[in-house]
Amino acid sequence: MFSCWCTGCDHKKRYNMEDVKKVLIMPSWYPAKDNPLTGIFFQEQAQLLDELYDVRIFIGRQKENKIIYRILSTLFFIISKISIVNKSKEFYITPPYVYEFIFQKLYFMNYYNRIHSYLNYFEKNIYPYWKPDLLHAHDTLMGGVCAQAISEKYNIPYIITEHNYLLFDRSDLFNSKMKNALNNARAVLLVSEYQKRILALRDIGRKIIISGNYVNEEKYKISHNKERKQFRILFVARNAHHKDINTLMNTIMTFVDMIKNKDYEFIIIGFDVNLWIIKYPELINLIKQKKITNLLNVSREEIVDYFQDADVLLSTSIAETFGVTICEAMMCGVPVVSTNSGGFDEMYIEGVNGMKCSIGDFKGIAKSLEMIYSKEVYFTPIKIRESVVNKFGKIGFQEKIMKIYDGVIDGQ
């Protein structure tokens, strides 16, 4: 019988074979108790795959130490090439089980220190007791680079799922190490064709697989309780350059001018709208009139209610590798008006689940919103949901990753 490493779990019920395949997932970031939403999709995917494999997480975090300890740690690493690591407990969220550790911050050589830290911890605290059949890194830097180092020493195959743009705009050292990690992976998984086009410009010779992302269709469902008359436009994003908040603000002003004083509300989640009042003073009246509701932090559970209660989700991004928020909204039967930001194409079906506009075209975006508001165009919630659930829901995603995992582990 499979020997479980933890107590109070149901692994013995699920695993009735000793040779269940073992997968060690190495994310570049992961949800922690003080920041539970960061990298939440890594955890959700891992939980999904833990139904089929023995899945565990491996992640370290850098300790901000005092100056004297940083000096001593740096000197020790230069002389010995040994990284100082310490076990960490219950900082990251489980399940699945997390191998977590702390490594010291140095004055320099932090890149090499991180790799040696992962090797050190793996050698002493994982490999003697539990030998993975596969390493699955999320993002090349640093998960993929550390996975490659472990793979080379212990002859364990690894794959990389890349969630970012891979512009290779870092130092020559980092660019070289990232390319090396990608080229030596058994497979490189990308979440969209948009990423593949970017990667095609680089000298990457590995097999590329478009995997998409997993969205839990049991969590994101259509609501049939919309009794209000108010038209609600939802925007969920942090205040980052690629989210193009300028276009969002211009879209709001243009839409407001189009429909005048009719009943509508913009619900903006993720950043402080007040920071934009100097540039867009009209925001003051819109907030006072409750035409704009601004929420800085919404829990993972609460966000579902906002999706279900929206009439349309708005995205003004310049670039998105996938767009998990867009997929979540569509699972709830909500149409999306988005710029042609790349990742949107993985889900967009013209006339079925939303409308696509050019990047920065706030007039076109506002007009699209107005057309949905006036019912000049209409989208059927069940058809919106169906357009994404088979591709990115539980069964579709599991089958896709199973094929990859089993193929790599079995040497195919």
Q: What are phi and psi of 348, to 5 degrees?
A: -70, 130
Residues facing 234 on adjacent strands? 267, 313
**In the numeric block, which tokens belong to residue 32?**
């922690």
Measured between alpha carbons, how far is 25 from 134 in angstroms, rounded to an integer?
8
The pLDDT assigned to 157 comes to: 98
Q: Flag whether 272 is in a domain.
A: yes
- Total tally of structural domains belonging to the chain: 2
Q: Residue 19: pLDDT above 80?
A: no
Q: Flag whether 222 is in a domain.
A: no
Q: Flag whether 1 is in a domain.
A: no
Quick one: 93 and 112 in the same domain? yes
Q: Flag whether 223 is in a domain.
A: no
The pLDDT assigned to 81 comes to: 83
Q: Predicted confidence band at 198 (pLDDT cuts at 50, 70, 90)?
A: confident
Q: How many residues does the chain have?
A: 412
In order, the DSSP letters of 179-238 are HHHHHHSSEEEES-HHHHHHHTTS---S-EEE------TTTS---------SEEEEEE--
Q: Residue 124: pLDDT above 80?
A: yes
Question: Could you list the residue range(s) of the whole structural domain that residue 72 is in?
Answer: 11-214+393-409
The pLDDT assigned to 268 comes to: 98
Q: Flag whether 5 is in a domain.
A: no
Which element (helix H / strand E) includes 58?
A: strand 54-63
Quick one: 176 and 290 in the same domain? no
Residues 181-197: tens digit of each pLDDT:
999 999 999 999 999 88
In order, the DSSP letters of 126-175 are ITTT---SEEEEESIIIIIHHHHHHHHHHT--EEEEE-S-----S-HHHH
Quick one: 20 and 60 in the same domain? yes
Quick one: 210 and 333 in the same domain? no
pTM of the model: 0.88
Residues 243-265: tens digit of each pLDDT:
999 999 999 999 999 998 789 99
Q: Residue 172: pLDDT above 60?
A: yes
Q: Flag whether 29 is in a domain.
A: yes
Q: Residue 362: pLDDT above 60?
A: yes
- Which residue's structure tokens are 């409750």? 290
Least confident of 78-82, 243-247, 301-305, 395-399: 78-82
Q: Flag whether 4 is in a domain.
A: no
Quick one: 106 and 28 in the same domain? yes
Quick one: 397 and 386 in the same domain? no
**In the numeric block, which tokens belong to residue 303?**
């966000």
| CATH classification of the domain holding 281 | 3.40.50.2000
Q: Predicted confidence band at 2 (pLDDT cuts at 50, 70, 90)?
A: very low
The pLDDT assigned to 21 comes to: 97
Residues 201-222: tens digit of each pLDDT:
777 877 899 999 999 999 999 9
The pLDDT assigned to 347 comes to: 96
Residues 43-79: tens digit of each pLDDT:
999 999 999 999 999 999 988 778 888 888 888 888 9
Least confident of 120-129, 200-209, 370-379, 384-393: 200-209
